[in-house]
Structure 1
Amino acid sequence: MSPRRADPELRLALIDIGARLLAEGGPRALSTRRLAAEAGCSTQAVYTHFGGMSGLVREMVHEGFDRLQTHFAHVADSDDPVADIALLGIAYRRNGGRNPHLYAIMFGTTTHTGYRLNEPDRQYGRYTLGRVSRTAARCIDSGRFTAADPELVAHHMWTAVHGIVSLELGDYLIPPYDADTCFETQLVNLMVAQGDGRARATRSIAAARLRAVGLEERAGGLEERAGGLPAPS
């Protein structure tokens, strides 16, 4: 008799449940017994899919970045690279909102004491920044950005958007300076800081907002991730 195949849906369920338990209750809340009870499976499933708890936490990090890459993959290049890079920021925010527990773990804001992640694990998700760098290069080539280093531009975008998403998920942004207000003005200011004109940047970000509505309609089931994109080798 051949061994039973690991169930991919159960694997994703264990990752999501584990991330929620870890984010809400810390390492003590994450146990094979509790995972199994909430997932409706045996405790052996954790070892079948991940080899143990350390492997589960590592897969939470990897899954979080794979879902981010899936959101980025739905952003097609257009003839307006500034709108494209703004839309990548919107996709980044949307991914954080749909996967808040994974977001906390993949960036280390949730502790995983006792479950060691090595340096390659922590750096795993940097491949997602490649798309932002390539779009930044298009903004520079088009003359919209005056910066000379697209990777540095990508890092500026990443750190700025990551900061506002983290504050939003922590419920720190309240009216009149709520997350939508801050995010909208931040996007414009980020583009202007890279050399774009304010009026032109505002038009591009408005166009990105309209495109984002279409993305939401076409990609509404991303949190279930029907096959995310793998990291490049």
Structure 2
Amino acid sequence: MRFARNMSITVICIILGIMLSWQYKSIESNKKVSASQTKNLYDLQKELLEEKKNNENLRARNEELEAQLSEYINAAGNNKKIEESIREQLIRARMLAGLVDVEGPGIEIVLDDGEYDYQAVYDIDLLKLVNELRAAEAQAISINGERVVAMTEIRYTEPYMVINGRQIYPPYIIKAIAEPEKLDYALNMLGGIVEIFRDSFGYKISVNKVDRITIPKVRMMVRY
């Protein structure tokens, strides 16, 4: 009798063990499925945001092209309008290529080495500054009188900088033509490049808004 009861208890324990094991596996499987679904959802959300961004960029470009197309359609049969439009585009292209002098309002930046030897301004610093100005839609940029365009080489060779093949010594006077307020805000914003250069790198830097700046065209590059 006792043996039968013990056997019954043993069988019940085995069955309960199997049931618990199945339940545990079921929970773990559900967790994996849930995690997989969460991951897939995150990936889908990320892809959706990227696609939205791409669509916005394409839409903006499409609107720009449509505006140009409308301009040409409206100018059809009017040679004078077409000539004016082409002339404006040519002027802008020459300006961006640095083939003409540019005048207008903007800012003047004076950037100099810090007090210690390890606080020297390097080429990467000037490149970062130039990129910030371009991001703020600067129409023309110069460093110590040297026009900076897409093909400009900025290279540090102690104790001077080489720009367009010419030796440039600090302090570096950077001029940029664009809306002064916009340029000033882009540079002096909290955590911006001016703050980083001054407080983190120890450089001497000042930014001044100027009503009228003249930036010369690109001179013939010097090759050594």
Q: TM-score, normalised by structure 2?
A: 0.24
Higher fraction of strand: 2
Give the structure-1-normalised TM-score.
0.23
Q: Which structure shows the bigger proportion of residues in helix conformation?
A: 1
